[in-house]
Amino acid sequence: MKKAVCLLCTLLLCCVLAGCGSSNAQALTVCSFSGQDAACSVSNGVIVLTPDTGILDGGNLTVNKEQFSDISFCSMSIFVRVDGSEHSLLNVESVDMTNGTLTLDQELGSISGSAFSPDIAAALADHLFFRLDTVSLSGEKQSVEIPLTVKTITELPPV
């Protein structure tokens, strides 16, 4: 939670300072997201949107260790589903090449860029999902998909 608050404050400060003295300050939207089911949870996710770019911090993944043991491969995705199509925002894959196992409780990472088209940005509130696909050492495959709840923290109109 401290990481998300620190990131949020830093991003807000940068955006405010970048707009100081500028006659064409851009709109800014800051959202948090989280979600859970019996298998896993995603917490402390943050999305920052301006008309030109977006920043997504995937937050923290926590898994039910009884359900996910001896994992040798995992794929984690945060995506938006619009009209039956999936639009990937963040993908992380890990594989253990040492005959050991992976630890799935981790930070999901972040990304910034122009992947947030107006259609994608508009769909975030109701259509954001997390998917975890795993393969165990014995070859057993598992897939979990959970909807993510998005809450708008700050919304500043253009000046």
Give me the domain span that covers residue 69: 2-156
User: What pLDDT shows up at residue 15?
Assistant: 46
User: What pLDDT shows up at residue 3?
Assistant: 53
The CATH number given to whatever domain includes residue 49 is 2.60.40
Neighbours of 105 (CB within 10 A): 11
Q: What is the pLDDT of residues 71-80, one digit of tens each?
A: 999 999 999 9
Question: What is the rounded CA–CA span in Å between residue 48 and residue 62?
Answer: 23
Q: What is the pLDDT of residues 121-130, one digit of tens each?
A: 788 888 999 9
How many domains is the chain built from? 1
